[in-house]
Structure 1
Amino acid sequence: MSGLREKQKAERQRRLVRAAAAHFREAGFEKTRIEEIAATAELSAGTVYNYYRHKGELLIAVVAMEVHEVLAAGEPLVQHPPETAESAINALIDTYLDHALVYLSKDNWRHAMAAAIAQPDAVLARRYTELDARLADQVRRLLDSLQQRGAVRADLDTIAFGKMIFNNTNQLFTEYVKEEGQELAELKAGLRAQHAALCRLIA
């Protein structure tokens, strides 16, 4: 019975998070009400609060869903990266960026970032930080694969370099979501120029 209960709980959470993502994108984070999310998920508002204490936690749950899907999409590149370091890094980072606005609008991302910064010791902020760490580690593992192949220098510190690539991506992504008019192609072009310069140092 416990296995069935866990499956039912996971299914309710899945419905809640997908319903929240839809409402946040359509109406915006501020205008979305818990009752609306509950109705879409075919659950009571009380049930929502059994899983999430407030909308902020639901927003981070949507971020987590996005990151988990991005990590899964990036794994084939880690296991079988493109031939050069530059093409491999661009491909992985493009995977992150192409998925970034599937569930979350720029407005949603701004609220998620603000919540993580405003309450750094809160559970949702720690969760946000953990997700970033998992993405940075995937970049590191990509570099490890390239290093084993001989596509990057043998003495490269893949942990430090992986963090640097991800942190730079994160910084430019933050600027991208702050500027409503900036297009994704512009963000990608800026990152690709920087990756080209970096890869000349490590190949």
Structure 2
Amino acid sequence: MAGLRARQKADRNRRILEAAGDLFRQSGYDAARIEDIADRAQVSVGTFYNYYKNKGDLLLATVAMEVEEVLETGRSRLANPPGDVAAALTGLIRVYYDHSLNYLTKEMWRTAMSISIQHPETPFSRHYTELDARLSAQVSAMLRTLQLRGAVRADMDAAGMGEIVFNNLNQLFIHFVMDEEMTLADLNILIARQNAIVAGLIAGERSAESRPQGAEGAAE
């Protein structure tokens, strides 16, 4: 019975998140009403408030759902990344970028970022920050794997460099969501160019050996 209740609760939560995402995209975050979200999710307004205190918490929960899926997809790349450092980094980061608009619009991302900065003490804001830390750790893990294979310099601080790479990709993503005209293709080209610079600084001896012919242009 407890298992059934847990599944029902998870199903209601998923319906609320999906209904909210649909309405946020269709009407905009500000115009979407909690009553309409509850109606579309087929739950009462009272039930909605059992899950979320306000629309801001709901939006950050939608971001969390997005990032959890990104992290899961990213894990599949950690076990066997390409030997070329630039290709490995760009492939992982494209997983992050290409998934970013599955549930969220640029407006939704901007609003979520604003809420997390204005109200950092809430559980959903803290979870938002924790997910960023997990993404950063995933980049560091990729670099450690490459380091063990000799593709990255042995004297490099993989954890620190992973944080630097993540901070850069995160800043580029902020620029992307602020610019309505910028496309994901534009963003991916930009990060590939910058990753090539990073790779040139940290690559070990085996990275050059593993680079496929014509790889310089493959990132674009």
TM-score, scaled relative to structure 1: 0.96
1:180 aligns with 2:180: yes
State the distance in 1 between where 2:149 and 2:160 align: 19
Give the 3-state SS of the residue equivalent to 1:156 in structure 2.
coil
Aligned position for 2:102: 102
1:135-174 alignment runs, 5 A limit: 135-174=135-174
Alpha-carbon offset, residue 97 of structure 1 = 0.4
- For residue 124 of structure 1, report the CA deviation from its aligned partner: 2.5
Gaps of 5+ in 1: none
Counterpart secondary structure, 2:172 = helix
* Partner Cα distance (2:57, 2:174) in 1: 20
Alignment length (residue pairs): 203
CA distance in 1, matches of 2:35, 2:155: 55
Deviation at 1:136, TM superposition (A): 0.6
Write the distance in 1 (CA, Å) between the matches of 2:13 and 2:142.
31
Report what 1:86 is aligned to: 86
> What does residue range 51-62 of structure 1 map to in structure 2 within 5 Å?
51-62=51-62
Deviation at 1:6, TM superposition (A): 1.3
Instruction: Give the deviation of 1:83 after TM superposition.
Output: 2.1
Aligned to 1:19: 19
Look up the SS of the partner of 1:150 in the other structure.
coil
Q: CA deviation at 1:92?
A: 0.4
Instruction: Give 1:111's aligned residue.
Output: 111
Unaligned runs of 5+ in 2: 204-220
Larger Rg over CA atoms: 2
* % identity of equivalent residues: 49
Partner SS state of residue 83, structure 2: coil
Question: 3-state DSSP class of the match of 2:31?
Answer: coil
Deviation at 1:42, TM superposition (A): 1.0
**CA drift at 1:8:** 1.3
Instruction: Give 1:123 deviation, angstroms.
Output: 2.2
* In 1, Cα distance between equivalents of 2:149 and 2:18: 40
1:194 positional shift: 1.0
Q: Separation in 1 of the partners of 2:58 and 2:197?
A: 39
Deviation at 1:74, TM superposition (A): 0.9
TM-score by length of 2: 0.89
Higher mean Cα deviation, 123-132 or 169-178?
123-132
> In 1, distance between residues paired with 2:165 and 2:37?
36
Question: Shift of the alpha carbon at 1:120?
Answer: 2.1
Distance in 1 between the 2:80 and 2:35 partners? 45
Distance of 1:68 and 1:125 partners within structure 2: 15
Tell me what 1:129 maps to.
Answer: 129
